Amino acid sequence: MAGTASEYIRHHLQNLTYGNLPAGYERADGSVLNDSTWTIAKNAAEASDMGFWAVHVDSLGWSVLLGVIFLGLFRMAAKKATSGTPGGLQNFVEVMVEFVDTSVKETFHGRNKVIAPLALTIFCWIFLMNLMDLVPVDFLPWLFHAAGVEYMKVVPTTDVNVTLGMSLSVFLLIIFYSIKIKGVGGFMSELTMHPFSSDNIFLKILLVPVNFLLEGVSLLAKPVSLALRLFGNLYAGELLFILIALLPLWAQWTLSVPWAIFHILVITLQAFIFMMLTIVYLSMAHEDNH
């Protein structure tokens, strides 16, 4: 991990990418591929040359691992859930469930069995993924480096693919419920008849493109803002930790400790915001009061 500061930073921000390189591609070590090959990218240029059909193994691996930890923990509590005196784990899980449940009930007034578990999954999963940010920046990459893995980005939410993957899923749910509740016609009229409306039929038709543009942008802005807000916050946080790690060893704690403490707030807040906005968007999708 030697090298200049900018190399160090770039190295830390590079995902472990698995993808396809075309035939005739000159690899980082100068060798030329005879056939198109599925392989692990050796540097950032290779990773970006892999194009869309590549996977960030580290982001996906960590996010799935954390999701499994979350669900395993909660499933364990759910299996042993009693209505009697709860144990420590059940207590914790119940607090989380009740917290999410009240958040959902305060915002969402319809009947939907999906939203509350969805919100719980979002909150806990994103919280855990964000929490990886508090692991010292060099610790896990160093371990993996010792094991022969060159790149390792351990905070899945600093990968825009991860946040976009989640927000686009939420987006699909928004569209699905909008159409389910209001029908295709209702959803379309919501997109085209508001916010500008007129009693004159001619004027109404004239206003359709304007409305559609406005509503379309506001609809598309939802998943993008959802994903980029989370990504931006965590990416910035991670970057700051990396920058602090460039300081001399004896001085690092003066900055990293306050930033880590502040970051606890950011981590929780971002997970909460993602959850709340999901609930709000879905509740808007359920409402038919335009």
Report how far apart, in Å, the C-alpha atoms of 218 and of each of 64, 112, 281 are. Answer: 31, 24, 11
Which one-letter amino acid corresponds to residue 253? Answer: W
**Catalytic choice (10, 43, 112, 229):** 229
**Catalytic choice (103, 130, 233, 256):** 233
Catalytic annotation present for 111: no
Q: Footprint of another protein on residues 35-94 (CB under 8 A)?
A: 47-48, 50-56, 59-60, 63-64, 67, 70-71, 74-75, 77-79, 81-84, 86, 90, 93-94
Catalytic annotation present for 169: no
Residue with tokens 């056939």: 35
Closest listed residue to residue 219, CA positions, set 152, 155, 172: 172
- In angstroms, rounded to a whole number, what is the distance separating the alpha carbons of residues 246 and 6? 10
E strands in 37-150: 37-40, 54-56
For residue 262, the minimal CB distance to another protein (Å) is 25
CB atoms within 10 A of CB 228: 16
* Contact track, another protein, 206-245, x by CB under 8 A: ----------------------------------------
- In angstroms, rounded to a whole number, what is the distance separating the alpha carbons of residues 214 and 219? 9
Stretch that binds another protein, among 29-37, 165-173, 174-182, 197-205 (CB under 8 A): 165-173
Q: Are 18 and 55 in contact (CB under 8 A)?
A: yes
Report how far apart, in Å, the C-alpha atoms of 186 and of each of 111, 114, 203, 211, 221 are. Answer: 19, 22, 20, 14, 20
Q: Footprint of another protein on residues 105-164 (CB under 8 A)?
A: 113-114, 116-118, 120-121, 125, 156, 159-162, 164
- In angstroms, rounded to a whole number, what is the distance separating the alpha carbons of residues 233 and 120? 21
- In the bound state with another protein, the residue whose beta carbon lies nearer, of 164 and 244, is 164
Which neighbouring-strand residues pair with 39? 19
- In the bound state with another protein, the residue whose beta carbon lies nearer, of 34 and 82, is 82
Q: Does 165 bind another protein (CB under 8 A)?
A: yes
Which neighbouring-strand residues pair with 32? 26
- In the bound state with another protein, the residue whose beta carbon lies nearer, of 65 and 134, is 65
Catalytic annotation present for 233: yes
- In the bound state with another protein, the residue whose beta carbon lies nearer, of 74 and 187, is 74
- In the bound state with another protein, the residue whose beta carbon lies nearer, of 54 and 137, is 54
- In angstroms, rounded to a whole number, what is the distance separating the alpha carbons of residues 76 and 78? 5
Kindly state the DSSP code that residue 133 receives in the 8-state scheme. G
- In the bound state with another protein, the residue whose beta carbon lies nearer, of 86 and 186, is 86
Q: Which residues are at the interface with another protein (CB under 8 A)? A: 15, 17, 19, 47-48, 50-56, 59-60, 63-64, 67, 70-71, 74-75, 77-79, 81-84, 86, 90, 93-94, 97-98, 101, 113-114, 116-118, 120-121, 125, 156, 159-162, 164-166, 168-169
User: What residues act catalytically?
Assistant: 225, 229, 233
